[in-house]
Amino acid sequence: MPSDPVLTLAGISKSFPGVRALSDVGFSLYPGQVTALIGENGAGKSTIVKTLTGIYLPDEGSLTVGQEAKHFSSPRDAWAAGIAAIHQETVMFDELTVAENIFTGHMPGGTLIDWAEARRRTAALLKRIDADFKPETKLKRLSVAQQHMVEIARALSHEAKVIIMDEPTAALSSHEIQELFRIVDQLKAEGHAILFISHKFDEIFRVSDRWVCLRDGEKVGEGLTRDVREPDLVRLMVGRPVDQIFPKRALTIGETVLEVEGLSNATEFEDIGFTLRRREILGFYGLVGAGRSEVMQCLFGMSRPTRGRVTLEGRPFVAKAPADAIAAGIAYVPEDRQHQGAVLPLGIRENTTLASLGAHVRYGFLSRNSERAATRMLGTRLAVKAAHWEQRLGELSGGNQQKVVIAKWLATKPKVVILDEPTKGIDVGSKAAVHDFIGELAEDGLAVILVSSELPEVMGLADRIIVMHEGQMVTAVTRGGPGWSAEAIVAAATGADHQAVAA
Ligand SMILES: Nc1ncnc2c1ncn2[C@@H]1O[C@H](COP(=O)(O)OP(=O)(O)OP(=O)(O)O)[C@@H](O)[C@H]1O
Ligand SMILES: [Mg+2]
């Protein structure tokens, strides 16, 4: 056990109107150790991060860095004390270069900007973490994984003692996640203290040495990762044991709703064909980048196919824009909910009913009561945690914002709903609630397309699974039929099984 902590929080409390986000929380971070901070959506994890980085001032409590008591009244103070963070929502500048993003605010040479020096140092930092892009590249040209690497380089530029990562893997492919873990191991070996936030247990067990668990703003446990097992952590987080896989509902699948034939576009996918029936859950599995989201966006009218035919309830269907798809009864819950779905300054009710206002008009007027009833029903079913239903979306935790965007699309009472990675960033207990709700929607007659990179999720919910690899369908398997096994599905998704085309 390393002796002295790098950073210690003690008795930290923080309240917002109507919610006590943190209550008397204390723990320490140690050099060369990764501490996982775990807890449900809204437990207070990001609030801890914002307190440690000077974005929020705690109402009570103390912070010690090394031997010194610290008071952060701005992000600059935290930065000066050697604390750097990769936030849940990125806070960098798209239009600036990598070097500019790294050195903005603390240029070599004081106030005078020595760009040659900044670029040279950036190149050295990028080399240190094996990054394969240039200091002059604009941030917007980089993938999310590469942007994380810029944030890590930024932390290293200042020799940060503490590096905080708030759900850094949420938008990464499995290969990129491995790459991130390699860097985390390296930072550990160099003696940095790391605080790592994730909802995925395999990541927590892979990467952390210690864990701290929050529930409703209070610390409910901490310990060494090697001494704990997943079910124990789940019970601590949620306050009860959770059945992570619901028994699949036995439903009689109905008539065909959607038929897709030979759908192609110029670069991302080719010759996609399938049928979708009422009460059916059709899974789309594949690695990140396999083209699944692009197919769905095309069906939803966000892009035009170069070839192919779509039939909805027996009639040819062309979506020139999402409005056409919505009018025809197709809803799409996008993967990138922060950018494509949530209106942060509006309230939960307004966000929930945004795409279905027509359903709440009574005698020519918008009925608040009707809106409220729909919001309450969906919010409760999806386990949205909020002080009240009028609360601004921007005040909710990341995971709870995502649940509201799902509610918004379900409120349109669609015939076909396309869910793109619906449980990304959602905690283990809420995930079970979302899964149960998807099953119930199918039971009510909805046809569901479920795009997911999580095999247990697709295998637990879907009746059939289409596997995509590099823009093509490589196989389709039916629950209980030949090829319905985790090994076969993963093999197909990685392209190992290219011969087994279409069932
Ligand atoms: N600016 C704010 N105004 C009002 N309430 C807030 C604000 N920021 C956070 N909260 C509330 O504080 C609580 C803790 O939120 P926090 O973002 O820390 O959760 P989290 O553990 O990071 O969850 P997630 O896993 O969903 O990201 C939530 O109830 C949230 O609504
Ligand atoms: Mg958070």
Q: For residue 483, report the distance from its CA to the centre of ligand 2, in Å.
A: 38
Helix or strand (DSSP H, E) at 493: helix 486-493
Give the distance (Å) from ligand 2 centre to CA of residue 167: 8
* Domain contains 343: no
Ligand 2 center from residue 303 Cα (angstroms): 32
Closest residue by CA, ligand 1 atom 4: 395
List for the chain the helix, strand, coil content (%; round to 5): 35, 25, 40
Based on the fold, state whether residues 28 and 92 are members of the same structural domain. Answer: yes
Q: Quick one: 85 and 120 in the same domain?
A: yes
Nearest alpha carbon, ligand 1 atom 25:
41
Say if 18 falls within a structural domain: yes
Taking the CA of residue 400 as reference, the ligand 1 atom at the shortest distance is 26
CA torsion angle 359 256 404 217 (round to 10): 140
Residue 292 and residue 431 share a domain: yes
CA–CA distance, 447 with 260 (Å, rounded to integer): 14
Domain total of the chain = 3
Compute, in angstroms, the gap from residue 399 CA to the centroid of ligand 2.
7
Same domain, 272 and 366: no
Question: Are 94 and 139 spatial neighbours (Cβ–Cβ below 8 Å)?
Answer: yes
> CATH number of the domain that 271 lies in?
3.40.50.300
Which atom of ligand 1 is the closest one to the Cα of 56? 1
**Ligand 1 residue neighbourhood (C-beta within 6 Å):** 16, 19, 21, 39, 41-47, 88, 385, 395-400, 427
Residue 188 and residue 48 share a domain: yes
In this structure, what token pair is assigned to residue 329?
């009864």
Q: What are phi and psi of 119, to 5 degrees?
A: -70, -40
Are the beta carbons of 264 and 307 closer than 8 angstroms?
yes
If asked whether residues 444 and 396 sit together in one domain, one would say no
* Probe target for ligand 1 pocket from 19, 164, 198, with the most ligand atoms within 8 Å of CB: 19
Tens of pLDDT along 375-403?
A: 999 999 999 999 999 999 999 999 999 99
Q: How far is residue 419's CA from residue 408's CA, in Å, rounded to a whole number? A: 12
Q: Examine the fold and report which residue of 362, 384, 411 is the final residue of a domain before the chain moves on.
A: 411
Q: Are 344 and 355 in contact (CB under 8 A)?
A: no
CB distance 85 to 163 below 8 Å: yes
Q: Which atom of ligand 1 is nearest to the CA of 47?
A: 18
Please check whether residue 245 lies inside any domain of the structure: no
At CB < 8 A and 24+ separation, what contacts does 473-480 make?
473/271, 473/272, 473/273, 473/274, 473/501, 473/502, 474/498, 474/500, 474/501, 475/500, 475/501, 475/502, 475/503, 476/274, 476/502, 476/503, 477/503, 478/503, 479/248
Q: How many C-beta atoms surround the C-beta of residue 30 within 10 A?
A: 20
Q: Within 10 A of 256 (CB to CB), how many other CB atoms are there?
A: 16
223 and 296 inside one domain:
no
> Using N-to-C axis directions, what is the helix angle for 368-381 and 398-410, rounded to 10°?
120
Same-domain pairing of 286 and 159: no
Distance 377 CA to ligand 2 centre (A): 24
Cα(5)–Cα(30) distance, rounded to whole angstroms?
4
- Give the residue numbers spanning the domain of 364: 348-411
Smallest CA separation from ligand 1 atom 5, residue: 395
Residues with CB under 5 A from ligand 2 (ion): 45-46, 88, 397-398
Nearest Cα residue to atom 28 of ligand 1: 42
Residue 487 host element (H or E): helix 486-493
Regarding whether 144 and 232 lie in a shared domain, the answer is: yes
129 in a structural domain: yes
Which of 238, 272, 288 is the last residue in one of the domains?
Answer: 238
Alpha-carbon span 398 to 425, nearest angstrom = 7
Ligand nearest to the CA of 425: 1
Ligand 2 centroid – CA 454 distance (Å): 21
Structure-block tokens of residue 336: 């990138």
Count of CB atoms situated within 10 Å of the CB of 501: 12
| Ligand 1 nearest atom to the CA of residue 43, by list position | 21
pLDDT, residue 155, reads 86
DSSP 8-class letter at 482: T
Residue 222 shares a structural domain with residue 260? no
Q: Using an 8 Å Cβ cutoff, are 232 and 224 in contact?
A: no
Q: Is residue 337 part of a domain?
A: no
Last residue of a domain, one of 209, 238, 267: 238
* DSSP result, 160-202: -SEEEEESTTTT--HHHHHHHHHHHHHHHHTT-EEEEE-S-HH
Residue 2 lies in a domain: no
In the reported structure, the alpha carbon of residue 320 is separated from the centroid of ligand 2 by a whole-number distance in angstroms of: 36
Q: Give the pLDDT of residue 288.
A: 76
Backbone angles phi, psi at 377, to 5 degrees: -65, -50
pLDDT tens for each residue of the chain, 503 residues long: 556 999 999 999 999 988 999 999 999 999 999 999 999 999 999 999 999 999 999 999 999 999 899 999 998 899 999 999 988 776 788 889 999 999 876 655 555 668 888 899 999 999 988 888 999 999 989 887 788 889 888 888 888 999 999 998 887 777 788 888 999 999 999 999 999 999 999 999 999 999 999 999 999 999 999 999 999 999 999 988 777 766 788 888 999 999 999 999 988 999 999 999 999 999 999 987 789 999 999 999 999 999 999 999 999 999 999 999 999 999 999 887 666 678 899 999 999 998 888 888 888 888 999 999 999 999 999 999 999 999 999 999 999 999 999 999 899 889 999 999 999 889 999 998 899 989 999 999 999 999 998 899 999 999 999 999 999 999 999 999 999 999 999 999 988 755 544 44
Element (H, E) at 156: helix 144-157
Q: 338 lies in a domain?
A: no
Specify whether 396 is located in the same domain as 418.
Answer: no
Q: Which atom of ligand 1 is nearest to the CA of 399?
A: 26
Closest C-alpha to ligand 1, atom 29: 42
Strands 315-316 and 210-215: unpaired
Q: Which strands sit side by side in the sheet containing 472-478, from one edge to the other?
A: 330-333, 416-420, 447-452, 281-285, 464-469, 472-478
Indicate if 135 and 220 belong to the same structural domain.
yes
End-to-end CA distance of the chain: 55
| Structure-token pair, residue 227 | 């001494």
